[in-house]
């Protein structure tokens, strides 16, 4: 058993379940860089700092508040993670995915992952929202490496990691709200350096539409434990080489702030229909 496996996750969930009120969440939501504003839309019964959750290190990145929030969104009880653990912080893939195990142990069967990403698809603009149809793991790490965790699939099928019915629901909600929802492939890299222009040309060649530094370990674990997954990227910038300006984390946060209203409306609309 790894340090960040299912047994530990159950202990972590047991330690915080009382503060959340005990109901099984309709969804677990992971809020990416600059997208934490959705947390304010949740009628929260509890806001638990990462420091209070056994097994969680404290989040360090600007734009990541570092709390697990439980409460009602669109009439549904949800748990949301404001902040996440990135491998570029020095964390193992298993730790990057550990909160997924904890939220699953709290009863969530559906995972909504979100992230900020650079746009590799040349037709897109900063501020666009992308439904993640598939991903490419360029982290060269896998959170399932090690002894098989109780309850895990040893060799999870990855032919459809992102649930097609949830994707269709997302399309319908976006259409009803007049939100343009792009769709594409997310390439997950380790970071923390942004890509070079040559790397972005490679990503394009490989079939990626967006690139970021998270999400992949979380989705792999979610599939190994049987959760349904829905994923979104907020395209915060054109990836390196596709525009003349250098990429800054400040720009990433600015763009997510501008796209936040659409993003929040979309996620809230989807959660209401789960
Ligand atoms: N590359 C990788 N990660 C990112 C980017 C990018 O251009 N923008 C936001 N996260």
pLDDT given at position 23: 86
Q: Is residue 63 part of a domain?
A: yes
Q: pLDDT per residue over 163-202, tens digit each?
A: 999 999 999 999 999 999 999 999 999 999 999 999 999 9
Pocket of ligand 1 (CB under 6 A): 116-118, 194-195, 211-213, 236-237, 239, 247, 252
Which CATH number goes with the domain that contains 62? Answer: 3.40.50.1580
For 77-100, how does the pLDDT look when each residue is reduced to its tens digit (9 = 90+)? 999 999 899 999 999 999 999 999
What confidence score (pLDDT) does residue 160 get?
Answer: 97
* 263 assigned to some structural domain: yes
The tens digit of pLDDT for each residue in 104-151 reads: 999 999 999 999 999 999 999 999 999 999 999 999 999 999 999 999
Query: Which residue segment(s) compose the domain that 125 sits in?
Result: 6-272
For residue range 232-266, list pLDDT tens digits in order.
Answer: 999 999 999 998 888 888 888 888 888 889 999 99
Check residue 62 and give its pLDDT.
52
The half-sphere exposure of 191 on its side-chain side, counting CA atoms within 13 A, is 21
Give Dmax over CA atoms of the chain in angstroms: 51
Is 1 a domain residue? no
Count of domains for the chain: 1
pLDDT tens for 2-49 read 689 999 999 999 999 999 987 899 999 999 887 878 999 999 999 999
What pLDDT sits at residue 37? 85
CA of 56 to the centre of ligand 1 (A): 25
Distance in Å from the first CA to the final CA of the chain: 33
pLDDT exceeds cutoff 90 at 270 = yes
Active site residues: 33, 64, 86, 88-89, 116, 213-214, 237, 249
Q: Whose CA is nearest to atom 10 of ligand 1?
A: 117
Distance (Å) from CA 111 to ligand 1 centroid: 22
Residue 159 lies in a domain: yes
Mean pLDDT value across residues 204-214:
98
pLDDT at 253: 84
Q: Which residues lie below 8 Å from residue 208, measured CB to CB, with a gap of 6+? A: 120, 136, 184, 185, 186, 187
State the Cα–Cα distance between residues 204 and 219, nearest whole angstrom. Answer: 22
- Residue 31 falls inside a structural domain: yes
């Amino acid at each position: 058993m790894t340090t960040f496996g299912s047994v530990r996750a159950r202990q972590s969930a047991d330690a915080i379940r009382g503060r959340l009120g005990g109901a099984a969440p309709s969804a677990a939501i992971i809020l990416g860089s600059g997208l934490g504003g959705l947390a304010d839309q949740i009628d929260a019964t509890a806001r638990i700092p990462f420091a209070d959750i056994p097994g969680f290190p404290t989040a360090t990145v600007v734009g990541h508040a570092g709390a697990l929030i439980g409460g009602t969104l669109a009439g549904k009880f949800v748990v949301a993670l404001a902040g996440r653990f990135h491998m570029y912080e020095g964390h193992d893939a298993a730790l990057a995915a550990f909160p997924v195990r904890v939220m699953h142990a709290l009863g969530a069967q559906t995972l909504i992952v979100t992230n900020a990403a650079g746009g590799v698809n040349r037709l897109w603009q900063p501020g666009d929202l992308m439904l993640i149809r598939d991903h490419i793991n360029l982290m060269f790490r896998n959170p399932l490496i090690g002894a098989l965790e109780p309850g895990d699939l040893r060799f999870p099928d990855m032919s459809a990691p992102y649930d097609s019915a949830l994707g269709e629901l997302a399309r319908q909600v976006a259409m009803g709200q007049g939100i343009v929802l792009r769709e594409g492939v997310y390439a997950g890299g380790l970071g923390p350096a942004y890509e070079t222009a040559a790397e972005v040309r490679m990503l394009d060649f490989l079939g990626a539409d967006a690139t970021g530094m998270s999400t992949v370990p979380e989705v792999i674990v979610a599939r190994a434990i049987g959760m349904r997954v829905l994923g979104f990227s907020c395209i915060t910038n054109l990836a390196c080489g596709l525009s003349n300006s250098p990429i800054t984390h400040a720009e990433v946060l600015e763009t997510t702030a501008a796209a936040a209203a659409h993003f929040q409306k979309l996620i809230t609309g989807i959660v209401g229909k789960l």
